[in-house]
Structure 1
Amino acid sequence: MAVIIFVLVLWYGGLFFQSFFLHRYAAHQVFTMSKTMERITFILTWIFQGSSYLSAYGYGIMHRMHHAYTDTEKDPHSPSFDDNMFAMMWKTKTIYQDINKERIEVDQRFTKNVPQWKSFDNFASSRFSRVLWMAFYVLFFAYFVTSAWQWVLLPITFLMAPIHGVIINWFGHIYGYVNFQMKNTSKNLFRFDFLMMGEGYHNNHHKHANRANFGVKWYEIDLTYVIIKVLNAFGIIQLKRIPVRIED
């Protein structure tokens, strides 16, 4: 039971910070926070994403590119231009690393105000950090596993962020329903997004990219947005009325 709870905490904890910090804050800037809170959130993202930690800078820029070039050859991740999900994610990884290591020139419209903490990112993204987290996961499993099948969950802890990414960027462009007819393949994966905390309302998000709430219909409850509203009410973050737009 401890192993299952542990994996669920990593799944939803890592997913929340990917959605809240990397996606809605770094990429779309739908709310603001103090510099101190931003640094705390960097650290919490590292703790919950662990071995699959993603840089807010690399993620933010790449996601803005995804919106500007959705389902074209310039899209960092599109099922329309990759043979399978593994090819797409390998391409995504390469572009992400090229951005972080400044190996490619990036248009300034994609870099504007994207949060960056270079020294921390260098540590959190290092092989040392990733191996350290993986060793911790293995030790936790070794101590708490009560049935052999639970070891199947171990690789999920290693690759949590890429798994979250492929669910949205591959399946979210192939399966589901649409509320808005658009010139891209974005879909809403679930009527109630219990699995991806609102990220599964992908068609809604592509239509209204700068809305803090990804849900549109009454039954499309965005759990990440619910938490954002609570944090805003307590003054920890400040929701924007007119968010920054990423134009084509």
Structure 2
Amino acid sequence: MDQATFATYPSLKGKTVFITGGASGIGFELVRGFAAQGANVGFVDLHESNSQALSDTAVNITHEICDLTNIDALQAALTKLASRLGPATVLVNNAANDDRHNWQDVTPAYWDERLQTNLRHQFFAIQCVAPGMIAAGGGSIINMGSNSWHETGGGFPAYATSKAAVHGLTRTMARDLGQHRIRVNTVVPGWIMTDRQKDLWATPEALESQRQRQCLPDLIEPIYVVRMVIFLASDDAFMCSANNYMVEGGSI
């Protein structure tokens, strides 16, 4: 699809947007997508060289380096971004890692680390930015889920459990924050063809199996997740909250 045909949302111009895990994969495209809308984008990530290279591409992109599993460091990084850009009225909880693991080999320590990597930071990012949204009179929070557990996908029980829990987090926070006109939604990607997925798991057999599961025959590029997130961040989605928005090609 010609990306010039995608929508521009005037309500996003000049807004402050925070994104977790912005230096690679879907997060990288999210940063670029919001910057192209004229938003002021701050992102956090652990990878310094990738983060700096992305920040150097546009004057309205900046970043902080932090380990998302360290909640004090995460909240300090978001606070630093707010001091430079102003409080965020859009938060995209994107960061995650879908490493495969055999259920028989999982230890309590590994389980805890997977939930810290894929779930815990989402709540504490919300806790950090929500007061600024309340003061601003509203905002939009988009949590990244996954359809892996909808499909009863195997091979990563801690990841699937984390992503299933994202839906509960979204709905309860939508209730708690809705009175302040803060919308909270989940975007649910299918198997998205990031470079990491292509390098690690996208064998010809796996890709053909994925096509068979989807109603639509095309593999899903990251840009389509970005477009859903951008819509939910915009004022066009002003009355959308507490819901799941699927970007998975009709996968079953």
TM-score bracket for this pair, using the shorter chain length:
under 0.3
Pick the structure with more helix per residue.
1
Pick the structure with more strand per residue.
2
Q: TM-score normalized by structure 1? A: 0.28
Q: TM-score normalized by structure 2? A: 0.27
